[in-house]
A = this chain, B = another copy of it.
Amino acid sequence: MKKNMDCSLSLPSKSTEERIREAAKRVFLEKGFDGATSRDIAEAASINIALTNYYFRSKEKLFMNIFEEMLQLFFNGMIDIMNHPISLREKIAELINHDFQLMKENPSLSLFVMNEIHRNPDRMASCMGVMKQIHHSMFEEQLQKEVNLGTIREISAIHLMPMIFCNIQFLFIGKAMHMKMWQMTEGQFDEFADKHKNLVIDMITNYLFEFEKA
């Protein structure tokens, strides 16, 4: 196999392998593993059908390649923030802001991840390492410390984390539904989501830090 070493001047003209990956990413995210066909991907990448298997051996292998990248994208950012040496209050706001940005840039990421894990939980096996990092992040102890100090309500990470992530992700998981339901345009949805994000930060921090209110 020869890689495109020529990263010199002129138009970069991405390698075929990368073209396939990018097309596959788009198609899988939009249609899911079951809904996406090899020909969909080939067409989206403007390449011959046989090339998907030439480079990735099978649809399943190509999918796993994309899926693992998506799981990284889904978890890595939040893990980084959880390990930042900042206050809990800042951290929660940061986590929600990051989640919002991630969803804004990848509106179907959450639905895609949830769906594929639901359909085939074993596929997550290769990424169990990433999930373990959540357990062993600074977040759990930081939270426990604040609880012990009495600065926040008594709550465990297993309950706080879904609270932090559900609000933004649910908006995008149900984006099509919300837009139909409230008859929003794309622009109106963005505006709505942005406002919602701030409300959610407000709600969670207010709930958590109940004792140190104005």
Q: A interface, by DSSP: helix, strand, loop or mixed?
A: helix
Q: Which residues of chain B have C-beta atoms less than 8 A from A199's C-beta?
A: 155, 159, 163
Question: Does any Cβ of B come within 8 Å of A52's Cβ?
Answer: no
Asked whether, in the complex, the Cβ of A176 is within 8 Å of the Cβ of B34, the reply is no
Chain B nearest CB, measured from A198 CB (Å): 10
Asked whether, in the complex, the Cβ of A128 is within 8 Å of the Cβ of B163, the reply is no
Question: Does any Cβ of B come within 8 Å of A175's Cβ?
Answer: yes
- Give this chain's copy count: 2
Asked whether, in the complex, the Cβ of B203 is within 8 Å of the Cβ of A163, the reply is yes
Question: Does any Cβ of B come within 8 Å of A42's Cβ?
Answer: no
Asked whether, in the complex, the Cβ of A166 is within 8 Å of the Cβ of B158, the reply is no
Residue of B nearest to A213 (CB): B210
Known contacts: A114-B174, A203-B207. The answer to whether A128 contacts B162 by CB under 8 A is: no
- Selected interface stretch from A10-18, A54-62, A78-86, A178-186: A178-186
Chain B nearest CB, measured from A70 CB (Å): 13
Asked whether, in the complex, the Cβ of B32 is within 8 Å of the Cβ of A173, the reply is no
Asked whether, in the complex, the Cβ of B206 is within 8 Å of the Cβ of A204, the reply is no
Known contacts: A206-B207, A210-B206. The answer to whether A118 contacts B176 by CB under 8 A is: yes
Asked whether, in the complex, the Cβ of A170 is within 8 Å of the Cβ of B162, the reply is yes
Question: Does any Cβ of B come within 8 Å of A119's Cβ?
Answer: yes
Asked whether, in the complex, the Cβ of B117 is within 8 Å of the Cβ of A114, the reply is no
* A108 CA to B117 CA, complexed, in Å: 12
Asked whether, in the complex, the Cβ of A175 is within 8 Å of the Cβ of B118, the reply is yes
- In chain A, positions 154-203 with a C-beta closer than 8 Å to chain B are 155, 158-159, 162-163, 165-167, 169-171, 173-178, 180-182, 192, 195-196, 199-200, 202-203
Known contacts: A34-B35, A167-B163, A207-B206. The answer to whether A117 contacts B177 by CB under 8 A is: yes
